[in-house]
């Protein structure tokens, strides 16, 4: 009479399938790569409703980019031009 719980090999296969399915639904971390440049402002939100800000990256034509808070896949980015800006020299 076969075992009701299944063989150890079958249980191992089920456990492996569970781990693979959990990993498959995780969000891609490639979406979280911060693209911070001197000609854009990016605001990061906690979710798709864009109601809670969790971080930002602010560009400056002369001073690069400065980021605070955390990133998320929920973001808006505004780009701007830096036409012929004369930047002060660093001392």
Query: Whole domain around residue 76: which residue ranges?
Result: 28-82
Residue 83 is given by DSSP the state T
The pTM of the full predicted model, rounded to 2 decimals, is 0.57
* Per-residue CA distances from 35 to 3, 63, 85 (Å): 55, 16, 22
How many domains, in total, are found in the chain? 1
**Segment 43-91, tens digit of pLDDT:** 999 999 999 999 999 988 888 888 999 999 999 999 998 888 788 876 4
pLDDT of residue 57: 92
Residue 5: HSE in the Cβ half-sphere, 13 Å Cα cutoff: 5
Residue 3: inside a domain: no
Q: Return the number of other C-beta atoms located less than 10 Å from residue 40's C-beta.
A: 15
User: Does pLDDT of 9 surpass 50?
Assistant: yes
Residue 7: inside a domain: no
């Amino acid at each position: 009479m076969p075992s009701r719980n299944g063989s150890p090999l079958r249980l191992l296969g089920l456990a492996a399938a569970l781990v693979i399915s959990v990993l498959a639904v995780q969000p891609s971390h490639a979406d979280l790569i911060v693209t911070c440049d001197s000609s854009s402002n990016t605001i990061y939100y906690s979710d798709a409703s864009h109601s809670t800000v969790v971080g930002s990256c602010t560009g400056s034509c002369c001073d690069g980019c400065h980021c605070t808070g955390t990133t998320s896949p929920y973001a808006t980015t505004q780009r701007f031009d830096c036409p012929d800006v004369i930047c002060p020299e660093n001392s």
